[in-house]
Amino acid sequence: MKRLAACLLVATLGLAGASAQPQEGRDRPIMAAGIAQDRIEVEVNYSDSRIVVFAATPQPENPTSGLAVALVGPQVPQRMIRRTGAGDQRIEFVAAPLVFAIGAEKQVEESVPSEVMVQAGLNAQSSALPRLDQLLSPELDAWRAAFVNLKMEQGLYTFGRTEFRHFDGGLRRATIDLPQNAPPGEYTVRAVAFRDGRMVGESRQTFTLARSGLDATLFDLSRQHGLVYGFVAVLFGVLVGGIAAWVGRK
């Protein structure tokens, strides 16, 4: 198993927002940050990867001061079907992350209300955005809950699997596992600082999960040159079967 590490250095998280006590939502302070590795390549021997985030939380001596880290992406339209006695029902999320991994320190889980987590964009269900005409559907919450459950079954949505380590001076290191079946695309890593049940700072970093080697060649061939891929697939089967038949005669 090959492990790749993406280290996101979030050096100044929370310092600017520590005294401002901003409102949640649009007033979130945006922190400066640096990325050590912004590209992870997926090859045939790829199995998983780890995202490592370093962050300094404001006022670490405050027992409610802590960090939540989320790995989100790529945002794509997704459809769901519900089987009912009267036939199948469908819903389309115009944008929902294919991967959603979140972890928070214990003091954050205990002190931050769920609505604050929703406002901070750290709630998986709220990240699935329905079409406008389905926004007021009374069954939207049920659809979203089922969507998250199905994604959890696929291993693409994970909760509470983040490891946190504390260092001197309030520095934290958070490690998130990137699911082994995470599809290639643009991902965002968010580190959000909380204190007294409120959000006090945030940093966002993006990285690209890309295909390479044989993995990329086969995928691109199948999508861009379907006819060639069809011939290659048949020839491959004939070749392997032919070799096996030849070996069997020996």
Residues 6 or more apart from 142 whose CB is under 8 A from it? none
Residue of 4, 140, 210, 218 that binds another protein (CB under 8 A): 218
How is residue 37 annotated by DSSP? -
Regarding 86 and contact with another protein (CB under 8 A), the answer is no
State yes or no: residue 231 binds another protein (CB under 8 A).
Answer: yes
**In angstroms, rounded to a whole number, what is the distance separating the alpha carbons of residues 229 and 232?**
5
With both helix axes pointing from N to C terminus, report the angle between 213-224 and 226-249 in degrees, rounded to the nearest 10: 120
Q: Is 1 one of the binding residues for another protein (CB under 8 A)?
A: yes
Among 3-11, 14-22, 64-72, 226-234, which window interacts with another protein (CB under 8 A)? 226-234
Does residue 137 bind another protein (CB under 8 A)? no
Residue 215: exposure state from Cβ atoms within 10 A (0-12, 13-18, ≥19): middle
x/- contact string, 103-132, with another protein (CB under 8 A)? Answer: ------------------------------
- For the bound state, the minimum distance from the C-beta of residue 146 to another protein, rounded and expressed in Å, comes to 4
Residue 185 interacts with another protein (CB under 8 A): yes or no: no
149 vs 161: CA distance, rounded Å = 16
CA angle (209 as vertex; 203, 213 as ends), nearest 5 = 155
Asked if 170 contacts 57 with a C-beta cutoff of 8 angstroms, the reply is yes
Nearer to another protein, 24 or 41 (CB): 41
- Measured in whole angstroms, the distance separating CA 130 from the mean position of its chain's CA atoms is 19
Taking contact as CB under 8 A, which single stretch among the options 63-71, 107-115, 118-126, 179-187 is the one that binds another protein? 179-187
Q: Is residue 136 part of the contact set for another protein (CB under 8 A)?
A: no
Joined tokens for residue 25: 């939502």
Can you read off the two tokens belonging to residue 36? 């050590």
One-letter amino acid at 20 equals: A
Q: By CB under 8 A, is residue 223 in contact with another protein?
A: yes
Q: Which of 3, 90, 161, 165 binds another protein (CB under 8 A)?
A: 90
Measured from the CB atom, the residue of 106 and 161 that comes closer to another protein is: 161
Contact 16, 29 (CB under 8 A): yes
For another protein, the binding residues (CB under 8 A) are 1, 42-48, 76, 78-83, 87, 90, 143, 146-147, 149-150, 180-181, 183, 211, 214-216, 218-219, 222-223, 226-227, 229-234, 236-238, 240-242, 244-245, 248-249
